[in-house]
Structure 1
Amino acid sequence: MEKKRFFVPTLFVCLILFLVAVLLTTPRALADTPTKLKVSIAYPARHPMTVKAFGVWAKRLEERTNGRLKVTVFPGGTLSKIKENYDATIAGVCDVGMYVPAYAAGRFPLSNAMNLPMLFPSSTAASQAAWDLYQRFPEMKAEYSDTRLLFFYFTPPYEIHTVKKAVHTMKDLKGLQIRTAGPISAKIMGAFGASPVAISMPEAYMGLQ
């Protein structure tokens, strides 16, 4: 399999149901009966983000609350699909949801402005900038008024994986079917002559086959 790094960042957010966030700050949260949280993410069960990020985060929540919080992470969209996670969080299907604002460009216009290419030198810088803007501007906070935002994070530079044709230059993208995340990355790939394909993250590996 050939691969090529390409810096088109994608913004992810992690949200918690507003009502759950309120309950966790009340005396009820100190009761003997543990509060159970369902966390819906798109990464497969063995993905490093599942194991080393969300898995570790869930374990630390349990440890730091002395077991008052019991966190179950549902990987691979098994509880709710990533495109549905924002509304699924509001509806209480999951208590915490991982979401990509790019999947609903008209709903999060300020957040999605940050998905434009070549704005940031790294995913760390992009993630910090997103959080700073969220803290500074009420208009950006208003985009998430139905939930409590836990954190932003941007992906590292994308790697283009192919099974038949190696990609060494932008010209090599012409005619290839490339999986993209949202309309902005689709337009970028289209400008390079590729054909954007809209499939979910868990389906990407099988799509290469």
Structure 2
Amino acid sequence: MNRTLTAACLAATALGALSAPSLAETRKLRVANSFPAGHYLVKLIIQPWMAEVTKRTNGGITFDYFPSQQIGKAADMLKPTQSGVVDIGYVAPAYVSDKMVASEVAMLPGGFTTACRARRPISKPRATGSSRQRIMRPTRSSCSSRSRCRPIRS
């Protein structure tokens, strides 16, 4: 999933770079979120992604990064992203459910009877025998044992 997400982000970034007036021109993108700089999402996803984009574009795309709600609070991150204050902003669907209605479908009650069933579409990819399956297969401590799978309380 991380490789697919990274590939999709790189493709989108590359398409944006190609639409720039000059390919020799460098482009600086502003990235903002509400996470502190030491947060695991920043360390494991955002920073490596920015470094990879910069590397793959040979420095053609660089980033100004604004962590820790420097541009706006988590609940307001959609506004600076839409208005162009930042080019890329992490928007949590729970904070903007009135503006991004379809993103809340997964949070509706009654969709799953257990937490394990809710996790199953993520943890069991369609392709069998692939390296992706080996990486994402649930461990015994998570959801592979029925005895550990508890019903969701409403």
Alignment TM-score > 0.5, same fold: yes
| Structure 1 residues 51 and 24: CA distance shift in structure 2, 3 A | same
Tell me the SS of whatever aligns to 1:122. helix
- Residues 47-126 of structure 1 aligned to structure 2 (within 5 Å): 47-116=39-108, 119=112, 120-122=117-119, 125=122
List structure 1 runs of 4+ shifted beyond 6 angstroms. Answer: none
Match of 1:30 in 2: 23
Paired AA for residue 118 in structure 2: P
**Is the CA contact 1:44–1:76 (under 8 Å) kept in the aligned structure 2?**
yes
**Is the CA contact 2:35–2:42 (under 8 Å) kept in the aligned structure 1?**
yes
Higher percent of residues as strand:
1
- Residues 1-209 of structure 1 aligned to structure 2 (within 5 Å): 23-28=16-21, 30-31=23-24, 33-116=25-108, 119=112, 120-122=117-119, 125=122
Structure 1 residue 101: Cα displacement? 1.8
Structure 1 residue 122: Cα displacement? 2.4
| Structure 1 residues 124 and 81: CA distance shift in structure 2, 3 A | farther
| Structure 1 residues 65 and 115: CA distance shift in structure 2, 3 A | same
Tell me the SS of whatever aligns to 2:18. coil
Distance in 2 of aligned mates of 1:104 and 1:85:
9
Paired AA for residue 89 in structure 1: T
TM-score, normalised via structure 2 length: 0.59
C-alpha RMSD of the superposition: 3.2
Structure 1 residue 80: Cα displacement? 2.1
Unmatched segments (≥5 aa) in structure 1: 1-15, 129-187, 192-209
TM-score, normalised via structure 1 length: 0.45
**Is the CA contact 1:86–1:97 (under 8 Å) kept in the aligned structure 2?**
yes
Number of positions where the alignment pairs a residue of Structure 1 with one of Structure 2? 111
Distance in 1 of aligned mates of 2:55 and 2:16:
19
Which piece of structure 1 moves more, 35-44 or 103-112?
A: 103-112
> Identity of paired residues, percent?
26
**Is the CA contact 2:31–2:66 (under 8 Å) kept in the aligned structure 1?**
yes
